[in-house]
Structure 1
Amino acid sequence: MTIPSIRLARPRWSLRRRLVLAVVGLLAIVAIVIGSISVLALQGFLMNRLDDQLSAANGRSQTGFGPPGSQPGDAPSDPFTNQQLQRTFDRQAPETVIGIIAGSTVAGVRKDQSGTPVNLSTAQSKPLATVPSTGFATTVSLGNGLGSYRAIAVEYANGVRVVTALPLGEVQTTLLQLGLIIAIVTAAGLVLAAFLALWIVRVALRPLERVVSTATRVAELPLDRGEVALGVRVPDQDSDPRTEVGQVGAAINRMLGHVASALTARQASENKVRQFVADASHELRTPLAAIRGYAELTRRGDYDLPDDVVHSLGRVESEATRMTSLVEDLLLLARLDEGRDLESDPLDLSRLLIDAVSDAHAAGPEHGWSLELPEEPVTIHGDDARLHQVFANILANARVHTPAGTDVVTAVAIDGTNAVVTVTDDGPGIPPDLLPVLFERFARADSSRSRAAGSTGLGLAIVAAVVEGHGGAVEVQSEPGSTSFRVILPITAPVDPRPEVVPITAEPVAR
């Protein structure tokens, strides 16, 4: 069995945080190195000074006990004489320790602050025996409240050694105080450096924030539709190629220039196509009406026509009718694209839904149709004919693309300042890959089926265009067994025709 490795997600820090932490971390390393070197240098200086003092004290001890090789005391068991002890301690500084090692006997005496010799205990004297007679200072710990000492030993006759020791307490206290001062000053300096670095980095990154603000405004523009005058640019002060941020700003300005050119070319192409569709639709209405009229006139005339000719005339009339519907839909979309052809009058949405559901029931009696209305009429401002077409298209979509026996429920409710109409059916649902493009033009799940049912793929595109023209929105949710269209319309807001051009200009970033 293989145990999968677990990789912990690395924290994503902002550039500002990384820069501040890098500066503070670098300063902390420098401060620690400088502080450590300072402490070590002072320690070396104080230890050298103490060793010099120890050498002088050792010389005074030799003056009291005699030169090396002589007998320091009356006997090994009594290494000190009162005269030698007094003569030695008279010359030493307070806290000086003198010890004599004779065989296994170790005796030590400390001169206190008052100048009185104080005998050391056996446990305190024992570490003095570890000091070698090399003539070099050694650090020993006497313990029991005495702490560490620097000691030097001199060997006399019969293997007797005299040890002179000075306390390290003052050196250690000085080093501790210095270390504490360095730590406090370093901590205070790092805190101050952090605030200064944060302020400096914030000021340094303001041009980058303005660049980000420009890019954000561009990202929020509706570039996918309509004519857009892309006037957003990074300010000149933030597009100087001599700086890193300026290089980014200059690159964004060049990119925006290319995007603006592409949008202009796209809009020009769309305008040509839209104008062609509008002109073609308008020009086709008259000949299509003539074709339908002559076909119907011939079919209904008092002529003895063969059955196949009558059938052919019926097919010509039905196809002309379907083509006329397609032309009318294309012409309506072209007009809606221009923000025209919508009225804004008070209308009873409840009555409009009653008419739409009644028409749907007449067209598809094999389906179950129901309508849920509030007790009070729902009045909104809008184009009565176009909104009737919206709900007729949605209900027709439910009728055409669901099997017989499907229940279709239409409901209206008030949500704040909006009227919300939902059309829900319990049919097979909409394919998931069709949902993202459902409201686009000529979007059909099955072109052959749709053509047989008379669908052009423009019904839901008209729904979206009309609803957006009323300042509303249309949503759809679908899964097997439940499909729901949700139309949201403002209650009192008048129709706001969409402008042909959406000018966007750069605005300074407030700081």
Structure 2
Amino acid sequence: MGKGTLSRQLVTRICALVALIAIAMGAVGVVIVNRILTDQLDQQLAQAIGLESRGARGSGTAGLGGLPIGSVVVIVSSDGSTTGTIEGMDRTRSSDTSPEVNASMTRVPADGRARTVSVAGLGAYRVIAHHALVSSDSGVITGTVYLGMPMDRWSRVMRELITIEAVFTVVAIVGAAVIARAVVKDSLRPLNRLASTATEVSQMDLDTGEVSLPDRIPASETDPENEVGRVGLVFNRMLDNVEGALSARERSENKIKQFVADASHELRNPLAAISGYAELSERSPEGLSPDVAFAMGRIAAESRRMGRLVEDMLLLARLDAGRNVELVSVDLVEIVLNAVSDVQVASSDHHWKLQLPDEPAVARADRDQIHQVVTNLLSNARKHTPAGTTVTTSVRIEGREAVIAVQDDGPGVPAEIREHVFERFARADAARTHDEEGSTGLGLAIVAAVMAAHGGSASVDSHEGYSCFTLRIPLEELPTGAPPETSPAGAPRG
């Protein structure tokens, strides 16, 4: 197939076919008309040269009459003498031929067959030669008569015919293009609608959430008796199957989300009880053996870790359901400053740096969730990098977005999980975790979910010796002079 749309290809090929047919018909017409005119001229020549002599004119020719103006008669007598005349305009006078004209005429064989000859100074002539008795001033002699009739009328008719054929061909091509375009456009309208629907489906996000597929191809355009109709019918069936699969996937996702939310909610109370009893036993260790005291300590630690996991799962379930996002005007610079101040206290074996702008970066966001997002990134850098690693947290404004970046010079994110680092339960191996707490695999998933709930995004760029997690969140357009909302516990920048 050539380049371009199917409709363009069809119109082009139809026009080419019409042009080919028109040119072929025109060529056949020209050949036929040319043959008819030539036969008529040859018949006229044969009749003229076969006439009996009726006496000589002053030019020495005889026996030829009824010739059109411009006809040339050359007579070569048996003694070798040559005489010739050209029929004049008024039929009463004739002019003698020149030697060049005579030479052109006498090249034609005297076999009684007409031939086209270019006569010097006169143009194209149809010439016939015939041996005959010719009357002259000295009597009847034997000689050869060469008779030529001008082909100007033939040429004029052929030029007009070719012009008409050319105009007809152009009109036929233009007409074919207009009609073919309309017919093809109407015929391919169902196919174009199908392509539009397919394009719309291809641009839809089908992996999560509720999906509403576009309307089906109308029944009037799904006739199984034609090719386009069969494609539309199959496409509708495919959409039905896809919609059924998506509905099943959505129901399954909703069940899983509901289960996670319910399980997380129900686990909070038992975990709180376990943690409370473990802490109670730790307060009175006198009656416990060393082994029991150690076991109770591990129970308390694991219950706290499991409590954090349950809280993370419950937060993700709420974010999936579109709840638990309270948007207020917050200063992102203040949140980052507080988060870095907290992590400095928790991890003094890392080097923590800040790069903050002088002006506030105000966004409509949930303060606690944004703080948790930044804390998760800082905790991720603390857990997965060795002591002495430099972690730089920066805030900058790019256009209508605030950009928060947490960069470190640690070992980098493993290549095998780099593309899935924001998915749930994506973890690095234990050898790369430099913290006793380990990782639940939900911290970065919470980061991605919270940023998506705020209309922002989270991304990572990492290689050996470098990692950078970047958050982007839209800025709020504040009225001139309006200060951002700040919390009472907000720390000053400096």
Tell me if both proteins adopt one fold, taking TM over 0.5 as the criterion.
yes
Verify the 8 A CA contact 1:64 1:84 in the aligned structure 2: no
Which residue identity lines up with residue 462 of structure 1 in the other structure?
A: I
CA-CA distance at 1:216 after TM superposition: 2.8
Which residue identity lines up with residue 458 of structure 1 in the other structure?
A: L
Which residue identity lines up with residue 260 of structure 1 in the other structure?
A: E
Q: Which residue of 2 aligns with 1:446?
A: 429
In structure 2, which of residues 57, 60, 70 is the aligned counterpart of residue 85 of structure 1?
60
Verify the 8 A CA contact 1:106 1:129 in the aligned structure 2: no
CA-CA distance at 1:64 after TM superposition: 5.5
CA-CA distance at 1:423 after TM superposition: 2.5
5 Å-filtered alignment, 1:270-289, equals: 270-289=253-272
In structure 2, which of residues 126, 132, 147 is the aligned counterpart of residue 150 of structure 1?
126
Q: Which residue of 2 aligns with 1:353?
A: 336
Q: Does 1:461 find its partner at 2:445? A: yes
Q: Which residue of 1 aligns with 2:47?
A: 56
5 Å-filtered alignment, 1:330-349, equals: 330-349=313-332
Verify the 8 A CA contact 1:476 1:484 in the aligned structure 2: yes
In structure 1, which of residues 126, 141, 144 is the aligned counterpart of residue 118 of structure 2?
141
Verify the 8 A CA contact 1:239 1:248 in the aligned structure 2: yes
CA-CA distance at 1:425 after TM superposition: 3.1
Counterpart CA distance in 1 for 2:59 and 2:65 is: 10
CA-CA distance at 1:22 after TM superposition: 1.6
From the superposition, tell whether residues 432 and 110 of structure 1 become closer, same or farther in structure 2 (CA, over 3 Å): farther
5 Å-filtered alignment, 1:149-298, equals: 149-156=125-132, 160-230=143-213, 232-298=215-281
Q: Which residue of 1 aligns with 2:472?
A: 488
Q: Which residue of 2 aligns with 1:69?
A: none
CA-CA distance at 1:28 after TM superposition: 0.7
Query: Is the deviation greater in 227-236 or in 352-361?
Result: 227-236
Counterpart CA distance in 1 for 2:86 and 2:378 is: 110
5 Å-filtered alignment, 1:373-412, equals: 373-412=356-395
CA-CA distance at 1:51 after TM superposition: 0.9
Which residue identity lines up with residue 151 of structure 1 in the other structure?
A: V
Q: Which residue of 2 aligns with 1:99?
A: 74
From the superposition, tell whether residues 113 and 371 of structure 1 become closer, same or farther in structure 2 (CA, over 3 Å): farther
Verify the 8 A CA contact 2:130 2:146 in the aligned structure 1: yes
Verify the 8 A CA contact 1:434 1:445 in the aligned structure 2: yes
Counterpart CA distance in 1 for 2:414 and 2:395 is: 26
5 Å-filtered alignment, 1:37-52, equals: 37-52=28-43
Provide the alpha-carbon RMSD of the alignment: 2.9
Verify the 8 A CA contact 1:412 1:420 in the aligned structure 2: yes
Q: Deviations over 1:100-122 (max 9, x none)?
A: 34688766432243444334333
From the superposition, tell whether residues 411 and 108 of structure 1 become closer, same or farther in structure 2 (CA, over 3 Å): farther
Q: Secondary structure at the match of 2:373?
A: helix
Counterpart CA distance in 1 for 2:238 and 2:474 is: 38
Query: Is the deviation greater in 444-453 or in 125-134?
Result: 444-453
Counterpart CA distance in 2 for 1:443 and 1:323 is: 17
Verify the 8 A CA contact 2:448 2:458 in the aligned structure 1: yes
Q: Does 1:117 find its partner at 2:94? A: yes
Counterpart CA distance in 2 for 1:88 and 1:171 is: 25
From the superposition, tell whether residues 107 and 452 of structure 1 become closer, same or farther in structure 2 (CA, over 3 Å): farther
Which residue identity lines up with residue 48 of structure 1 in the other structure?
A: D
CA-CA distance at 1:171 after TM superposition: 0.9
Query: Is the deviation greater in 320-329 or in 45-54?
Result: 320-329
Counterpart CA distance in 1 for 2:348 and 2:101 is: 114
Counterpart CA distance in 1 for 2:121 and 2:460 is: 86
Verify the 8 A CA contact 2:48 2:64 in the aligned structure 1: no
How many residues align? The count is 468
Q: Deviations over 1:415-469 (max 9, x none)?
A: 4443232233344443455343222111234366459651111111111111111
Q: Which residue of 2 aligns with 1:24?
A: 15
Q: Which residue of 1 aligns with 2:483?
A: none
From the superposition, tell whether residues 125 and 223 of structure 1 become closer, same or farther in structure 2 (CA, over 3 Å): same
Q: Which runs of 5+ in 1 are unaligned?
A: 1-9, 66-80, 495-511
From the superposition, tell whether residues 366 and 100 of structure 1 become closer, same or farther in structure 2 (CA, over 3 Å): farther
Which residue identity lines up with residue 24 of structure 2 in the other structure?
A: V
Verify the 8 A CA contact 1:97 1:164 in the aligned structure 2: yes
Verify the 8 A CA contact 1:100 1:108 in the aligned structure 2: yes
CA-CA distance at 1:280 after TM superposition: 1.9
Q: Which residue of 2 aligns with 1:414?
A: 397
Which residue identity lines up with residue 466 of structure 1 in the other structure?
A: V
Q: Which runs of 5+ in 2 are unaligned?
A: 134-140, 479-494
Q: Secondary structure at the match of 1:295?
A: helix
Q: Which residue of 2 aligns with 1:328?
A: 311
Verify the 8 A CA contact 2:61 2:84 in the aligned structure 1: no
Query: Is the deviation greater in 149-158 or in 464-473?
Result: 149-158
From the superposition, tell whether residues 467 and 101 of structure 1 become closer, same or farther in structure 2 (CA, over 3 Å): same
From the superposition, tell whether residues 293 and 38 of structure 1 become closer, same or farther in structure 2 (CA, over 3 Å): same
Q: Deviations over 1:386-405 (max 9, x none)?
A: 11111111222233333444
Q: Deviations over 1:15-43 (max 9, x none)?
A: 11011112211111111121111111111
Calculate percent identity across the aligned residue pairs: 43
Verify the 8 A CA contact 2:117 2:127 in the aligned structure 1: yes
Counterpart CA distance in 2 for 1:380 and 1:105 is: 117
From the superposition, tell whether residues 111 and 349 of structure 1 become closer, same or farther in structure 2 (CA, over 3 Å): same
Q: Secondary structure at the match of 1:20?
A: helix
Counterpart CA distance in 1 for 2:7 and 2:415 is: 43
In structure 2, which of residues 454, 459, 474 is the aligned counterpart of residue 470 of structure 1?
454
Q: Which residue of 2 aligns with 1:4?
A: none
Verify the 8 A CA contact 1:218 1:232 in the aligned structure 2: no
Verify the 8 A CA contact 1:381 1:493 in the aligned structure 2: no
Query: Is the deviation greater in 81-90 or in 119-128?
Result: 81-90
Which residue identity lines up with residue 55 of structure 1 in the other structure?
A: A
CA-CA distance at 1:338 after TM superposition: 0.9
From the superposition, tell whether residues 327 and 106 of structure 1 become closer, same or farther in structure 2 (CA, over 3 Å): farther
CA-CA distance at 1:383 after TM superposition: 1.3
Counterpart CA distance in 1 for 2:417 and 2:179 is: 56
Counterpart CA distance in 1 for 2:248 and 2:374 is: 36
CA-CA distance at 1:289 after TM superposition: 2.6
Verify the 8 A CA contact 2:451 2:457 in the aligned structure 1: yes
Q: Secondary structure at the match of 1:63?
A: coil
Q: Deviations over 1:193-224 (max 9, x none)?
A: 31232233223322322222322333333321
From the superposition, tell whether residues 445 and 29 of structure 1 become closer, same or farther in structure 2 (CA, over 3 Å): farther
Counterpart CA distance in 2 for 1:430 and 1:121 is: 105
